[in-house]
Amino acid sequence: SNSLLEGLVFGRRAAGAALAGLGDRPAGRVTELPAVSVDTRLADVAAEQELRELMWSACGISRTGPDLAAALAAIDQMGAGGEEGTARLAQRRSRLARTAARLIVEAALYREESRGAHHRGDFPTSSDRWRVSHVMRAQRGADIVRDPAAHH
């Protein structure tokens, strides 16, 4: 598109003007950035889309325990293949997205009830159990613990 070409042309001109404005001052350290191929970026985009579709189909408005369990396995498999060739930022973003997805699915699997717009096919009714407990999880993979909350 024209805007992409304009960005390249004017980006180069802006960089040249910034460097010219330095005069005799040192420009500072230039860091070599790793090149990311178009194929790698397309793979990153495809992985993001795959995760989005998985979350919508397994953890959307209507869900079941077996679908949620299958989603956990699929999320774990997504990270098992390694991420060679991806840029560090994309790699970190992908890992964080999978972590967030995993936590959402675990919470949905743990909540054995239907609440609000989220319907569990295998637990179609609401439960007031949530009013008497909090769910917590430690960062390093500790078990989920129930801690009675104070009644008001």
- Better pLDDT: 56 or 38: 56
The per-residue pLDDT for range 75-118, each reduced to its tens digit, is 999 876 655 545 667 778 888 999 999 999 998 898 888 888 88
Other beta carbons within 10 Å of 65 = 14
What is residue 151's predicted lDDT score, i.e. its pLDDT? 40
Confidence of residue 21 (pLDDT cuts 50, 70, 90): confident
Which domains are assigned to the chain? 2-146 (1.20.58.100)
Mean pLDDT of the chain: 79
Own/partner pairs for 39-45, CB < 8 Å, 24+ apart? Answer: 40/85, 40/86, 40/87, 40/90, 41/90, 43/86, 44/86, 44/90, 44/94
What is residue 62's predicted lDDT score, i.e. its pLDDT? 92
